[in-house]
Amino acid sequence: MTLKVKVCGMLNAYNVTELVKLNPDYIGFIFYPGSKRFIGPVVPKEIMNSIPGSTRKTGVFVDEPILSLIENFRINNLDLVQLHGNELPEYCENLQRLGIPVIKAFSISPHFDFQSIGIYEQFCEYFLFDTASILRGGSGLKFDWEILSDYHGNTPFFLSGGIQPGDSAKIISLNHPKLIAVDVNSGFEVEPGSKDISRLKTFIEDLRSIDAI
Position 86 confidence tier, pLDDT thresholds 50, 70, 90: very high
User: What would the pLDDT profile of 136-191 be if each residue is shown by its tens digit?
Assistant: 555 568 999 999 999 999 999 999 998 999 999 999 999 999 999 999 999 999 99
Q: Measure the CA–CA gap between 185 and 142, rounded to whole angstroms.
A: 12
**Close Cβ partners of 206 (under 8 Å, ≥ 6 residues apart):** 168, 169
The pLDDT mean for the chain works out to: 94
Position 208 confidence tier, pLDDT thresholds 50, 70, 90: confident
Task: Sketch the domain layout of the chain as residue ranges.
Answer: 4-212
User: What would the pLDDT profile of 114-126 be if each residue is shown by its tens digit?
Assistant: 999 999 999 999 9
Q: What is the pTM of this model?
A: 0.94
Q: What is the dihedral of CA 37, 42, 43, 48, to 10 degrees?
A: 160
Position 209 confidence tier, pLDDT thresholds 50, 70, 90: confident
Q: What is the DSSP letter of 166?
A: G
Handedness of CA 140, 146, 147, 148 (dihedral sign): positive
Q: Select which of 25, 92, 130, 167 is catalytic.
A: 130
The reply to whether 8 belongs to the active site is yes
Q: 78 φ, ψ to 5°?
A: -75, 165
CA distances (Å), origin 130, targets 18, 48, 77, 94, 185: 26, 26, 26, 24, 11
CA distances (Å), origin 71, targets 33, 51, 119: 16, 21, 26
Whether domain 4-212 has CATH 3.20.20.70: the reply is: yes
